[in-house]
A and B are shown apart, each in its own frame.
Chain A
Amino acid sequence: MPIPALLALEDGSVFHGHAVGATGETTGEVVFNTAMTGYQEILTDPSYSRQLVTLTYPHIGNTGCNAEDVESETVQAAGLIVRDVPRRASNWRSSESLPDYLKRHGIVAIAGIDTRRLTRILRDKGALAGCILAGEQVDAEAALAKARAFPGLNGMDLAKVVTTARTYAWNEGVYNLDKTTFSQPARRFKVVAYDFGVKRNILRLLAEQGCDITVVPAQTPATEVLAMKPDGVFLSNGPGDPAACDYAIAATKTFLEAKIPLFGICLGHQIMGLALGAKTLKMKFGHHGANHPVKDLDDGRVLITSQNHGFAVDPATLPANVRVTHNSLFDGSLQGFALTDRPAFCFQGHPEASPGPHDIGYLFDRFAQLMQEAR
């Protein structure tokens, strides 16, 4: 018999299902993601720290888990909510089933609930705090209390929680499905990457551009970085409220002043905005999916992008030396900008995809080009 599990939301909604991961309890902000593939990448994306991820596609776990499709060392999401995990995974690269993988990483997960009902609640009310309990005895009242006790992500600095403890080098390129190995590209730029919760595919795509990467902890002072004399600095994605990352905002101001080539993704994009004096705001339920259209305002083309953010930069607060380069076609929100007087640009969505379409991967070329021009 399956082990019972339940999900309670701060608004009082309760969903009864069964456990498909570890037993126990977990709380976090409940968000949904509409991507139909890439659950392993999503689970291991540090931006999902303290979030309970609902995947809207009803069968999750079809292709099992493998050693390559991970975006960090471990599972980062605080919990997983799905409609169904099929009994059997099938894929030539699968080495472990999703439930086994979740259990091995101690992740509490619930299946068997009406995830579409949950998604509609989140769409209407915005992201809500929630709690999953999984075990033989689960108590809805206890779960509700825990959900309501969750402080929320507003003002929460999670980048320093998920960041690397120490500096390390990264030179591995992208995964080649034909050769079943990661490439080892030649190196031509020295790049320092701030890890606010960086996804590995960002580092891999930087490596593909010839970057010899040094990954540094979130709170590394700018002076230390500049002392390394990098060709460019990269500001990574990451979880939590960007406004709480004062140290990163301060460092970014220094890099902007130094006119060093600068590229930010997601949280890195928001930090760059804040460093320029703009404001960020918490979105209702954010953007979480792999099908979001973004318009490149330079050439008018539409790119389908991967998105995962709950905060956004308010474009009205951007200074005059900022040129908006990309907008969301779903809600018109700001997706990317560049400075007119500095070699710096950033993007709110995920050009590294993983999971998601590769349409906007050209931003990595752009960063390489900026570094080339700066030489």
Chain B
Amino acid sequence: MAKRTDIKSVLIIGAGPIVIGQACEFDYSGAQACKALKEEGYRVILVNSNPATIMTDPNTADAVYIEPINWQTVERIIAKEKPDAVLPTMGGQTALNCALDLADHGVLDKYNVELIGAKRDAIRMAEDRELFKQAMSEIGLESPRSGVAKSYEHAVEIQAELGFPAIVRPSFTLGGSGGGIAYNVEEFEAIVKRGLELSPTHEVLIDESVLGWKEFEMEVVRDTADNCIIICAIENLDPMGVHTGDSITVAPAQTLTDKEYQRLRDASIAVLRKIGVDTGGSNVQFGINPADGRVVVIEMNPRVSRSSALASKATGFPIAKIAAKLAVGYTLDELKNDITGGLTPASFEPTIDYVVTKIPRFAFEKFPRADARLTTQMKSVGEVMAIGRSFTESLQKALRGLEIGKTGLNPTGLDLTTTEGLATLKRELREPRPDRVFHLADAFRAGLSLEDVHELSRVDPWFLAAFEDIVLTENEVSEQGLTALDEPRMRELKRMGFADARLAELVGTDEAALRHVRHTLGVRPVYKRVDSCAAEFATTTAYMYSTYEEECEADPSDREKIIVLGGGPNRIGQGIEFDYCCVHAALALREDGFETIMVNCNPETVSTDYDTSDRLYFEPLTLEDVLEIVALEKPKGVIVQYGGQTPLKLARALEAAGVPIIGTSPDSIDLAEDRERFQQMIEKLGLRQPPNRTARNADEALALAREIGYPLVVRPSYVLGGRAMEVVYDDADLSRYIREAVQVSNDSPVLLDRFLDHAVEVDVDIIADTDGKVLIGGIMEHIEEAGVHSGDSSCSLPPYSLSAEVQDEMRRQVTVMARELKVIGLMNTQFAIQGDTVYILEVNPRASRTVPFVSKATGMPLAKIAARAMAGMTLAEQGTTREVIPSYYSVKEAIFPFLKFQNVDPILGPEMRSTGEVMGVGRSFGAAFARGHDAAGIVTPQQGKVFVSVRDADKDHLLPVAKDVVSRGFSLVATAGTAAYLTSHGVTCERVNKVLEGRPHIVDMIKNGDIVYIVNTTEGKQAIADSFSIRREALQRRVTYSTTVAGARALVHSLDFHGSEDVHSLQELHKELSP
């Protein structure tokens, strides 16, 4: 068989915004698929609402639609572009659901479009729990005993048969949203009712508990000729009961004999054949009873997934790329294995000669009220992967790559000598939270036996032995001290994966001193290649990892090279946007003839695709690991300003070690981050900041607060994403903040800023070059007022309400600051505009998360231009000196994970909590805003009652919005204060009780479905707490709400525009921009 010639154009559906359970692994897959199909000469049409992706770059596909991923919008794209086929297996659950909708609504038939990769029936069978279970039983595979309930009553009947604990999973939700483990009737009722509500089909699956069993995943690829290959077997370190996305996973599988492995292999292939996945990658999950090896099938995904991205990075076999080619008719033997330079075909099973460990990264610090116990619902926001020649090495490399302040298996700090401490430890082992690995190590420190630890944690003894080995070795190292570290001992420790920093802690010295000792002993890492074949064939691909062995295969060239330091694991505040920038830097400099070298440890990303850069080091981004690579490669320059805080944190130390950092100097970066130095610069330049102070202890904070006056924005210094940032209104509030939220000290001062009420916030991205010339990349006007974290605000490019004078003033200010800071590369500035006064909130002389959005909106590839500027090419030389101001509007909308976290207040504030973003484009601001809302999946309020309740300071601003709402035929409901205000200003409204005022109250109305839209603003800890249930209920019931008046104004204004405009491809839009 060969490539199909009956199809000429293919529509690829992307995964949309980054959410928990669906992250940038789908950008990696989708970008690969687009590239693969373009390479084959197909016209590729892409729809994805997420602008912060490589796949939505205008040269990735022939027509890129940054439009909402729903069947209605996609139908319009199909009607316009007339693709021959739709490939729905690259965009996660979002794309599959959209494909099903397109099929169910007759769109595919109407336009005669073929689904390739997976057919409708296959998607259904894999996704519908009941059909899947039935199919498995037909091929003789066991599933956990289970039942599907469409009602709570039915669920109770099923549970009676299966007993407790019961696993509850809603059908058709992402990352197991709304699922959970019920140990008793009360929990069961809560989880089932929530699940029924969250499932788009209003059904939940109730499973027999296989908690504590071993969990395995098989990554399978199948072609049209029914050839099936296993790319990778992955073993979860965490037992069944922890969602695989939240599990620490290890490749290859470690504890299966060949007979057991082959049984899983046969079963996985049988599953694909039964489900009818025509072509492409799929993932099959199994549970195995450790006592007798009994196997049950848990689920399968008929598409590429987070695990397939991991498997691709773990083996060097590019699953998505191959899957895309199989979807258009190729068979596996017709395709080459790139990584061996085409020496071998793609029709083989990768074999690896190293151990891969993936550890998820969580963001519970952002959601203090969320339950951090790990369950069947995924809660992590990112992951790190590490490669080593032993499990301990890969585990310890992964731990230091997580960037959670750990250098290895550090103690948790629990007092293990007390009964209380031990009791806590045991509970943590039984009911794991994100820090469970550290508790496993503590268990051995506490002297628990391996059997006891296994009994408590259900982690396989094979893994536990490695934890025990690490702890025992650490004890020896501490006892023997620095002088015992001779060459053989040092080598042995490094082979186990101990970081210099960890060893330094253990022997009581600092990292630099320890490293000096190691270098003196001549103990240096070597680099091995990932080649998919365990060295059986030579590889031409420089995909490498460090280890302590005899032979180094790095073979560095003597070309001019630039190292790009990546962003590490995704987290809230540092996500795909930074990876996007790193990839652009690598691509641009590669085009310019540099050898580009990427260092990163995030397996989900495009940056860690081995063909993005000339060379890829899959390594943790710690000082130790980066210095070793620099020592080997001797680059001309290292780029630290693209990977977010991760490389920035290293900048000073790298510079001190003589590493050639290109672009803005670390000192300038530091100046902008250092409040006091920054303030001096602002004063020198005659610019204006909100009054602000830096406090180094609690008393000083209170004194300084009174000096500048409340309300205040408070935050610790050196953070990204507004971590622990709050608005405080009085002394009591501030004292509480200092007590609870931060540890204030000389080394980590707290920053106090006067909060500017009702100010408009603005982001400006610029690029400056070595000549001091400045290119304005874009001016983005936020929709929400200042006080909401810029990452959580929606914004518009160009601004929709700012005067030309104010915009010019901001242009002037960023230019003088860029020159003063001697910026070379990107700089992001945040302004607050109060009246006509321009205040500078902060300046970041580095890539910011707005870069991809601005690039998509203006057609200017900012990250590429800036990378070239850093490498010495001026803006004039690049021909990019003119600011592009589009005639259309682009709106960025933030996406939040609140539904995943019970008890978390969805109110917007200064702490960033969004995980992703979407973009909407329109001919007017309203149209773009409406499109952005559709892309975010926000329900457009239909006729009915609108509930308004706002803080006093907002009442005057609310009035025009309220009038607007009424004029559109809605009726108003308000709490006493707001109702009195509105009535006195001639707006009719119904009064309703606050929750504390007795029933029936507003939450009752929401529950009864009486409210279609909510505007609720509030301030102060108590008032926020009092109104929490309103917002939470709204979220749960999918009632649209605004927590700022400005947001409400924009939303109400946009109601005129829904569904009214055409769909535009990025290529068409950018064509309008050419001079």
Contacts and interface: CB of A to CB of B under 8 A. Distances in A.
Interface of A, secondary structure class, is: loop
Given A90-B255, A354-B258, A58 B345 contact: no
A357 B535 contact: no
B259 A175 contact: yes
Contacts of A86: 391, 462, 465-466
A218 B258 CA distance: 29
Interface string B252-280: 11111111111101100000000000000
B496 to A, nearest CB: 10
B227 A302 contact: yes
Contacts of B331: 300, 302
Contacts of A58: 353-355, 389-390
Nearest to B391: A59
A292 interface: yes
A258 interface: no
A357 B262 CA distance: 6
A48 B561 CA distance: 47
Interface residues of B, number: 61
B227 A329 contact: no
B389 A293 contact: no
B415 interface: no
A122 B332 CA distance: 28
A178 interface: yes
B293 A177 contact: yes
B550 A114 contact: yes
Given A116-B353, A116-B551, A300-B225, A62 B255 contact: yes
A34 B532 CA distance: 11
Given A119-B534, A123-B536, A302-B227, A57 B352 contact: yes
B349 interface: yes
A301 B390 CA distance: 36
Nearest to B549: A114
Interface stretch (A36-44, A126-134, A159-167, A232-240): A36-44
A375 interface: no
A120 B262 contact: no
Given A119-B534, A304-B349, A356-B258, A178 B294 contact: yes
Contacts of A291: 348-351, 533
Interface string B939-957: 0000000000000000000
Most buried by B among A15, A88, A93, A119: A88
A93 B469 CA distance: 24
B892 interface: no
A113 B1 CA distance: 45
Contacts of A89: 462
Contacts of B549: 114, 116-117
Nearest to A90: B462
Interface in B190-236: 225-227, 229-230
Interface in A168-225: 175, 177-178
A116 B390 CA distance: 13
B465 A177 contact: no
Contacts of B534: 34, 56-57, 116, 119
Contacts of A59: 254, 355, 390-391
Contacts of B537: 123
Interface in B364-418: 389-391
Nearest to B255: A90
A212 B1011 CA distance: 78
Interface string B444-468: 0000001000000000111011100
A313 B272 CA distance: 36
Given A41-B258, A178-B294, A56 B353 contact: yes
B389 A34 contact: no
A308 to B, nearest CB: 13
Contacts of A37: 253, 256-258, 261-262
Contacts of A25: none
B292 interface: yes
Contacts of A231: none
Contacts of A353: 262
A128 to B, nearest CB: 15
B333 interface: yes
Category for how many chain A residues contact B:
35 or more
A93 B265 CA distance: 19
A261 interface: no
Contacts of A295: 333
A88 B468 CA distance: 11
A41 B257 CA distance: 10
Contact of B535 (A56, A90, A91, A92): A56
A69 B258 contact: yes
A296 to B, nearest CB: 10
Contacts of B258: 35, 37-38, 41, 69, 354-356
A35 B293 CA distance: 22
A158 to B, nearest CB: 24
B225 A301 contact: yes
A40 B261 CA distance: 14
B291 interface: yes
A301 B269 CA distance: 15
A302 B345 CA distance: 11
A38 B229 contact: no
A289 interface: yes
A117 B389 contact: no
B770 interface: no
Nearest to A330: B344
Contact of A63 (B255, B262, B353, B355): B255
A23 interface: no
A98 to B, nearest CB: 12
A120 B462 contact: no
A328 to B, nearest CB: 10
Given A86-B466, A356-B258, A119 B347 contact: no
Contacts of B1: 300
A115 interface: yes
Contacts of B229: 302, 304
Contacts of B352: 36, 57
Nearest to A119: B535
B535 A292 contact: no
A41 B262 CA distance: 13
B155 to A, nearest CB: 31
Most buried by A among B1, B230, B261, B290: B261
B259 A69 contact: yes
Nearest to B351: A34
A177 B350 CA distance: 26
Nearest to A353: B262
A62 B348 contact: no
Interface in A267-296: 289-293, 295
B462 A92 contact: no
A83 B257 contact: no
B528 interface: yes
Contacts of B464: 88
B538 interface: yes
B528 A92 contact: no
A84 interface: yes
A91 B255 contact: yes
A62 B389 CA distance: 15
Contacts of A330: 344-345, 348
B225 A123 contact: no
13 contacts: A37-B257, A57-B353, A59-B390, A59-B391, A83-B389, A90-B465, A92-B291, A114-B549, A175-B259, A290-B349, A300-B331, A302-B332, A330-B348
Given A92-B290, A329-B333, 11 more contacts: A34-B351, A34-B353, A37-B262, A56-B353, A90-B465, A177-B263, A291-B350, A293-B345, A304-B347, A304-B349, A356-B262
Which A-B residue pairs are the 9 nearest by beta carbons?
A: A38-B258, A355-B258, A88-B465, A90-B462, A117-B551, A114-B550, A291-B349, A56-B534, A37-B258
Interface of A: 15, 32, 34-38, 40-41, 56-59, 62-63, 66, 68-69, 83-84, 86-93, 113-117, 119-120, 123, 175, 177-178, 289-293, 295, 300-302, 304, 329-330, 353-358
